Amino acid sequence: MSESVSFEVKGQVGWITLTRPKAMNALNREMLDAMIETLKAWEGDAGVRVVALTATGTAFCAGADLKATGSAQPGEMDLLDTIVAFFDRLRAFPKPVIAAVNGLALAGGLETVLCCDFVIAAETARFGDAHSNFGVFPGGGGAAVLPRKIPENIAKYMLFTGDALPAQDMKLYGLVSEVVADAELVGRVQAIGDKLAEKSPLVLRKMKKVADEATDKSRADALRHELLELRNHQRSYDMAEGVRAFAEKRKPDFKGY
């Protein structure tokens, strides 16, 4: 485990908390390796149905730890390779992932947010690409994914200026789902996670897959994909259980298959 990131399961919500506040929770190899391994474990853990990602201090994450970039030996992964591997793992995680943004989310911190399914932000949180401020080019979705999440002109403004925008603005632009008081952030995200954990894990996994792939398809192809998943889902235990529970006026007991 790492001293720079902690892991805890509350109910059926797995919490990842970045714990390098003095370094603005900048990402280093130790943190990234620990998060990748934990996500691998939680992917197959039926006791973890939702993942929430947050941090301590005034920053959510300021991006990559530029002091720790170093150089890799031939054939070894460098810091950028490891960050991309983490982003790929987080983006493709089959269960709901919530970003609980407590403070500044800059550069790779913003790209981490872009890998999550939706964002709950504290009132004092701010979001910025920031790469242009240091002559660094984004490599985890800043230029490629941000314009898919918010209006293109706002994305370009953030990319070109390097400015950080407040949470309320990012809610207006569509990146943030909800803004809450700083002291209420963890409790609110836990409540949302608990709510999602009561749903069918199978339904959420399939919904996430169809929704993630829809933007790269025509509307007709996306609708065909959705219908195919529905046909397959009609054979599942969870759908049969949901229909039985509805008829019997009771809470369903979903199993995830």
Kind of pairing between the strands at 50-55 and 97-101:
parallel
Q: Tell me, what amino acid is at 88?
A: D
pLDDT of residue 127: 98
Mean pLDDT in each 10-residue stretch from start to end of the chain (257 residues)?
89 98 95 97 97 97 80 73 96 98 97 98 97 92 95 97 98 98 98 98 97 95 96 95 95 94
pLDDT of residue 256: 93
pLDDT of residue 76: 76
Tokens of 49: 């149905």
pLDDT of residue 103: 97
- Please report the DSSP string for 210-241 in residue order: HHHHHTTS-HHHHHHHHHHHHHHHTTSHHHHH
